[in-house]
Chain A
C-alpha cells in the first residue's frame, strides 16, 4: 500500500467510490441529454406509435339513368391495412392461416409496404371476405400494426353499358406523382363516366387522427379532432341513358360485332351507347379484376374496345345525305335536278357501279334508291365549281361542310377515349398526288362515303341528329345532371350550327322518309311511326361488308336519332335497318309488336360465321 497509514488509504478509497458514483451519474446525464435533446428520432417514433391517420373514404357517387333508375351503386368491402412502423412480433402462423396466405407472401408484402412508407398505411390484403373480416375484428388487437379499412366497391343493377360506365381501379404511380389527392391504394375512375366525372364521383376523402394504445385500440381522437376533416360523399350522376333502351340494344346486338348509338336530337343526350361484343361491368370490380381484365384483353373479339366511340368506319352510302345537302347548299343542283343512271358511272377512266333502280333520279329519289351515279355527279360538280381558283380551295370548302357535322374531331364532352374519325385534308392529297396533281375524279370515292373517310358510330348518330334538327346539333353527351336531377349541366346547351340552310335539310329528311317508306329500307317500316333513314353497305376488304343504317323518328318531331353498324352482316337494309327500327319502336312506344321481326335479329349470329 502506497499510503502512510490506514486513514489516508480509506480517504483515497472513499474518493474512488465517490468518483465512480459521480462518473456514472455523469454518464447517465449525458445519455439522457443525447436521448432527449440531441436525437429527434424518438419523438417521431412516439408520434407514430400512438397516432393513426384514418382515412374516411366517401361513398362514390351513384349513377342513374334518365328516368331516375339506379344503375350503378356501392357495396362496402374491407381492406386489411398495415402500418409497418407499428408492427411487432405477432403470431404470423395464425395470421397467415386466417388469410390463407403463405409465410413468404406475408413477408414479401410487409417488405413492399415498408418500402412504400414506414408510417403510412398500405393495403396488405384487398377486399377480405365478410367471414375473414369478422374473424379479424375479434383478433385485431393481437396484430398490432394491422387494421381494417372499409371501402366501397361498384355494383351494377344490370350487366350492361360497361363501356359507358367504365371502371374504377387502383391509382397508378404516375397519377400519384401528379395529383397529391391520391395515395397508393386509392381508387380512381379509369375509363368511361367513372373517368370523365372522377372529380364529381369521388367526393372528398376525410382524415381522422386517432390515438391508439399499445394494443392498437382506438382511445380517442387527437386534440378533440382539431385536425380531422370530414369525408364528403361523391355526387350522384344522372345520365342521359335510357336503361330499358340500352338493355334492349345490347340484347339485339348479342352475337354481333358493331354498335348502336341513339341520341335525342333536341338535346344531344345519348340515349343508348352499345358496343358489341360487351361484357358484364361487374367483371372489372373486386379481387378478380386484374385476372378478368387480362382475359378480356386476350379475347380475340376485343370486347374492351369501345366501338361506339373508337371504331372509324367509312360511312358508305349513308354519307350521301351529307354530300347531297352540301351540293344543294352550294347550288350545284336543285332538288329537282335529274340525272339518268345506267347502273355504272364512268368518268375519265374511273367507273363506279350502281344498283339496279328506276332511272332517272332527282335529289330525293337518288337518296331513296341510294344511287351512286347521282352521288358521283354531284360530288364532282361541287368540287369542280368554276368560281374556285383551284381544287385545294374547293375541296377545303367541301371538307369544312363535312367537318361542321362533327366529323374529324372529337366532341370533347364527357365521352372518354373517343377518336376523331378521319377526313383527309387538301394538303394530304397534295402530298400524295403532288400539288394540284389531283382532280375531283381522283377523290371520287369520297362522294359515296368511301376512301379517306372514317366516321365513328357516335359521329354518324350525330350527323343524323343534325339532319333531324334541320341544321344544328347539340354536343352528344352522357351525363345530364350532377348531384340532383334538376341540376342540369349547361355546358352542352349551346347548338352547333351547320352552314346549310334548313330547307335543304327538309329535302334530305323527305328523301330519308321515302327510304323507309318505299325505298331501300321499306322492309323496316314501323307501322304508325314516320321514320327517316338511310342504308349503307360499307365495303370491307377484310371480309363480309358492314351493314349500316342511320335514322331518326318521327320525321316531323324527331325524338330519337340513331346509327347502327353491324360488322360483317352485309347489306344495311337487311340487318342494320331492321335493328334500328326495333330500337326506335321500343323507344317511342315502349314495346315492340313485331315479334318475328325481333326474333330474326335476336337469332342472327355474325360472330360464329366471321370469327
Chain B
C-alpha cells in the first residue's frame, strides 16, 4: 500500500511539469506587467502579482487535495457539482458585484471570485457523466439534445452576466462531443465555417467575401472535376454561404438597432475599450510586434512598463510575453501549450472509462479554446473576446478552475485502471 503515501504515484509527470512551467511563466509576466519602479517586493499584496502568488498557493493545495480524493468521487458527484455551479451562477446574478459591465463576481475580502470559471469545470464533469451513462450503441438526436442542454444552461446563465467571452467558451465542448460521435465532422466544419464567415462578414465588405468564396468554389470544381456530382454540391454550398454572408451583413446593417450594433462592434474591435475602437488591439500589436526576435528583456518592455495596454495582467498578458521575450519566448510558450494539449489528448485516449475520456477531451477543448482565442485576439487574428490565457493571466478563479480541471483529470488518469 505504498501509493497511499505518495500522492504523485502514477500522476503524469509531463502534464505536471508543463502545468508548473506555465504557472511560473504566468506569474513572472504578471509581475512584469504591473511592475512599478520603486514599488519593489515580490510579495506585495496590493499588486496583482502578490495576490496571484496567494492564488498559486491555493491552487497547489487544491491540486494536492484532488490527488488525495477518491477517484469515484468525481463521477459520483458530477451532477451535484454541476448543480452547485448553477446555483452559484444564479446567485451571482443576484448578489454579485459588477466589474467592467459584467456581473460575474463575488467579492470575498480582497479577492474576487468568478463562478463562471468554476462552471466550466462543473460542466465538463456533467458532460462526462452524461455521455458515459448513455449506453446506446448509436447516438440518437435526443442524446445530442440532452448533451447540448448540459452546456447551454450554464452558457445562458453566463450570458445573462453579460460575459460574452466566457459564454463562447462553452461552445468548445462541441469538440469533445465530436470525438464521441455526437456531432458529425461535416456539422463541425459547417459550424466553424459559419463562425468564421460571420466574423468576416462584419469585418469586410460582403461582396469581397462572396467573391473570394466564388474563387475558391471554382478552384475546387476544377480540381475535383473527376468526381461525379461534386460540382453541383459545391455550387449549392457556395449559394448557401453567399446568402448567409449577405444576410449576416444585411441583418447587421439594417435590422439591428444602434446599441446592438455598437455592442457587436465593440466585441469585434475591443471589449471594454474606453479609448476608442481598436485601441487595445493596436497597442497590443505594437507591444508584440516591437518585441522582435529576442524581446526587450524582463521588465524592459516599453509598452508594458509604461502601461500602454489596458488589462495587461489579465486578457492581454500575452503582450508582455511578446514584448519582453520576443518571438523566441512567445514561440516557446505556444509550444508548451501545444505540448500540454497534445499530451492531454493522448492521456484522454488511453482512458478505460468513458467518463475519464470525455472529461479529458472536455477540458482539453476548453484549454484549446482559451489558448487559441486569447493569443489570436492579442495579435488581431480574432475579435477581442475578453477571456484569459489559462494559467498565465492574472485571476484567481481562472487559475483555480484550470487547476481543478487538470488535476481532476490527472487523478482520473493516475487511477485509470480502477475506473471502469
Q: Which of B47-99 contact A (CB under 8 A)?
A: none
Q: Which of A17-53 contact B (CB under 8 A)?
A: 17-18, 20-22, 24-25, 27-29, 31-33, 35-37, 39, 41-43, 45-47, 49-50
A28 touches B345 (CB 8 A): no
Most central of B283, B303, B306, B375 by chain A CB within 10 Å: B306
- Point out the residue from B286, B326, B334 that lies within 8 Å of A49, measured CB to CB: B286
* B109 is an interface residue with CB less than 8 A from chain A: no
* B175 is an interface residue with CB less than 8 A from chain A: yes
A21 touches B179 (CB 8 A): no
B288 touches A36 (CB 8 A): yes
* B272 is an interface residue with CB less than 8 A from chain A: no
What B residues does A41 contact at CB under 8 A?
Answer: 289
- Point out the residue from B293, B306, B342, B349 that lies within 8 Å of A37, measured CB to CB: B293
Cα distance A516–B338 when bound, in Å? 108
Cα distance A9–B293 when bound, in Å? 42
* A388 is an interface residue with CB less than 8 A from chain B: no
Q: How far is the CB of B309 from chain A (nearest CB, A)?
A: 8
Q: How far is the CB of B325 from chain A (nearest CB, A)?
A: 10
Cα distance A49–B181 when bound, in Å? 51
- Point out the residue from B285, B331, B372 that lies within 8 Å of A42, measured CB to CB: B285
* B276 is an interface residue with CB less than 8 A from chain A: yes
A46 touches B178 (CB 8 A): no
Main secondary structure of the interface of B (DSSP, over half): helix
Instruction: List the B residue with the shortest CB-CB distance to A16.
Output: B185
- Point out the residue from A13, A17, A39 that lies within 8 Å of B289, measured CB to CB: A39
B289 touches A213 (CB 8 A): no
What B residues does A18 contact at CB under 8 A?
Answer: 342, 345
Instruction: Type the 1/0 row for B274-316, where 1 means its CB is closer than 8 Å to any CB of A.
Output: 0110010001011111111100000000110011100000000
Cα distance A262–B30 when bound, in Å? 77
Cα distance A36–B286 when bound, in Å? 9
- Point out the residue from B181, B307, B331, B372 that lies within 8 Å of A9, measured CB to CB: B181
Q: How far is the CB of B136 from chain A (nearest CB, A)?
A: 13
B288 touches A42 (CB 8 A): yes
* B330 is an interface residue with CB less than 8 A from chain A: yes
Most central of A14, A45, A213 by chain B CB within 10 Å: A45
* A487 is an interface residue with CB less than 8 A from chain B: no
Instruction: Type the 1/0 row for A190-217, where 1 means its CB is closer than 8 Å to any CB of B.
Output: 0000000000000000000001111100
Cα distance A534–B175 when bound, in Å? 111
Given contacts A10-B179, A22-B338, contact A35 B288 (CB under 8 A): yes
What A residues does B386 contact at CB under 8 A?
Answer: none
Cα distance A46–B282 when bound, in Å? 11
Contact size range, B: 35 or more
A46 touches B290 (CB 8 A): yes
Instruction: List the B residue with the shortest CB-CB distance to A1.
Output: B181
A29 touches B175 (CB 8 A): no
B338 touches A214 (CB 8 A): no
A50 touches B308 (CB 8 A): yes
What B residues does A22 contact at CB under 8 A?
Answer: 338, 342
* B327 is an interface residue with CB less than 8 A from chain A: yes
Q: Which of B374-417 contact A (CB under 8 A)?
A: 375-376, 379, 381
A214 touches B307 (CB 8 A): yes
Cα distance A219–B308 when bound, in Å? 13
- Point out the residue from A9, A89, A211 that lies within 8 Å of B302, measured CB to CB: A211
A28 touches B372 (CB 8 A): yes
Q: How far is the CB of A59 from chain B (nearest CB, A)?
A: 32
Instruction: List the B residue with the shortest CB-CB distance to A213.
Output: B306
Cα distance A213–B283 when bound, in Å? 12
A-B contact pairs, 12 of them (CB 8 A): A10-B181, A14-B349, A17-B178, A21-B338, A22-B342, A28-B379, A28-B381, A36-B330, A42-B286, A42-B288, A46-B323, A49-B306
The chain B residues found within 8 Å of chain A, CB to CB, are 175, 178-179, 181, 185, 275-276, 279, 283, 285-293, 302-303, 306-308, 322-323, 326-327, 330-331, 334-335, 337-338, 341-342, 345, 349, 361, 368, 372, 375-376, 379, 381
